[in-house]
Structure 1
Amino acid sequence: MEGESKQMAGNILGNNMVNVTGKIVNDLEFSHELYGEQFYNFILEVPRLSDVKDMLPITISNRLFEGINLGPGTRVKIDGQLRSYNRQSPNGGKNRLILTIFARDIMVVSDDEYIKNPNEIFLDGFICKDPVYRTTPFGREISDLLIAVNRPYSKSDYIPVIAWGRNARFCEKLKVGDRIKLWGRVQSREYQKRGENNEIITRTAYEVSITKMEKANKDELISTEQ
């Protein structure tokens, strides 16, 4: 029974895999402690093929970086998972969906070390809201999705996803409950909203941008390989 449980947990871990390489931009900030293990947050600057850089949130256990100096400017490669949780509004407003890359392994790399794909993610999950298809003012097709990705112990991560072009058109056929596999990158974008006192607040949203996707069989076993 114990062996089966470990195998099941390993399979579920394989449905959410992130690999990012970039530079740390701030000092580590203490997040929380769980069963004696301390967790810290920092922002990782990850380059795109263009001049744009994604500023991605990282959560890491102190047990992963013992003896490693993780300060601003340090270039690291991180393997992990994209996790979500709800943050309660202090004023009793709507909860916010918070995303972070939960590090499972970290390695310091040199500045001149070439990384072909510094930002990759694979997800295997289920559509949990009807896809929204639209076109941008420049005529580009885009679909917005929300994917539920299972975690061990009956937990799930809810991850916003966007698809472009032919992938966006493919998403029009998807329904709630459909299982999909997707490959892409984690990206950040700033947006503005108006606060309670009409002040303009700038926030950062995180989402997965799809480069490849396919519909999967609901009964198919989740593979641990990407």
Structure 2
Amino acid sequence: MEEKGFETNSAILIGIVLTQPVVSHKSYGETFYCFSIGVDRKSGYRDMIQIIVSERLIWNVELGTGSLVEVLGQIRTYNEEQDGRNKLNVVVFAREFKLITEDPFPAHENKINLEGFICKKPIGRISPLGREICDIMLAVNRMYNKSDYIPCIAWGRNAGYAANLAVGTKIIITGRIQSREYRKRDEEGNVETKIAYEVSILKLE
């Protein structure tokens, strides 16, 4: 039986394993592993997405870098302290996991469906290329009175519409999870490359 909430937060990914699984954490005696997969866009850019998976789903799977996998799950977010600052981690928590061996291989896939509430005032801006964009923080409820706070980005007409939505508005979105490199300068002037994760909105209602 699907737990309630799966329909309000679902992720379907097909991509290539980029890193070997390492232990992420243990919960109620169950070990969870973390690794990243690469999902190629039609443009050729590769999004690098963090996956968390239970040992139950991969104990009998030969999981090496370069393997093609399908992940069905949910986006989860959690705060992690790094250098005295809070960093929002965005991962896909696997509910189902499959190694793809059939030939020909299916195309890479990256589909996210979310239903939640706007929890911060949306920030509309213009990109360096002159395109209208809008940043949205979406609170998506899950079981046990928990919520995931998921950064989303809207483009073009969706951005113009989203910029005027009030905090507390319920929205349903379809999109893709994407990774984006950015550079940050520390107090000593060193420039560090970091990765941000967000859901790029294709459809908003």
The TM-score, its normalising length taken from structure 2, stands at 0.95
Counterpart pick for 2:46 among 49, 53, 76: 53
Counterpart pick for 1:105 among 96, 99, 102: 96
Q: Tell whether the 8 Å contact from 1:190 to 1:203 is kept in structure 2 after alignment.
A: yes
Counterpart pick for 1:121 among 97, 112, 131: 112
Secondary structure of 1:168 counterpart = helix
Q: Tell whether the 8 Å contact from 2:4 to 2:143 is kept in structure 1 after alignment.
A: no
Secondary structure of 1:49 counterpart = coil
Give the equivalent residue in structure 1 for 2:130.
Answer: 139
Q: Tell whether the 8 Å contact from 2:139 to 2:148 is kept in structure 1 after alignment.
A: yes
- Matched residues, percent identical? 45
Shift of 1:197: 2.2
CA distance in 2, matches of 1:39, 1:52: 29
In the alignment of these two chains, the number of paired residues is 204
Counterpart pick for 2:65 among 65, 72, 89: 72
Q: Tell whether the 8 Å contact from 2:116 to 2:138 is kept in structure 1 after alignment.
A: yes
Give the equivalent residue in structure 1 for 2:140.
Answer: 149
CA distance in 1, matches of 2:186, 2:164: 36
Give the equivalent residue in structure 1 for 2:3.
Answer: 10
Any gaps of 5 or more consecutive residues in structure 1?
Answer: 1-5, 215-226
Shift of 1:94: 2.4
CA distance in 2, matches of 1:82, 1:49: 22
Write the mapping of 1:179-218 to structure 2, written as runs, cut at 5 A: 179-214=170-205
Q: Which runs of 4+ in 1 moved over 3 A?
A: none
Q: Tell whether the 8 Å contact from 1:13 to 1:152 is kept in structure 2 after alignment.
A: no
Secondary structure of 1:137 counterpart = coil
Secondary structure of 2:56 counterpart = coil
Give the equivalent residue in structure 2 for 1:87.
Answer: 80
Q: Deviations over 1:108-135 (max 9, x none)?
A: 11363223x6000000000000011111
The amino acid across from 1:61 in the alignment is S
Any gaps of 5 or more consecutive residues in structure 2?
Answer: none
What root-mean-square deviation, in Å, do the aligned CA atoms of Structure 1 and Structure 2 show?
Answer: 1.4
CA distance in 2, matches of 1:199, 1:135: 28
Higher relative strand content: 2
Q: Tell whether the 8 Å contact from 1:119 to 1:185 is kept in structure 2 after alignment.
A: yes
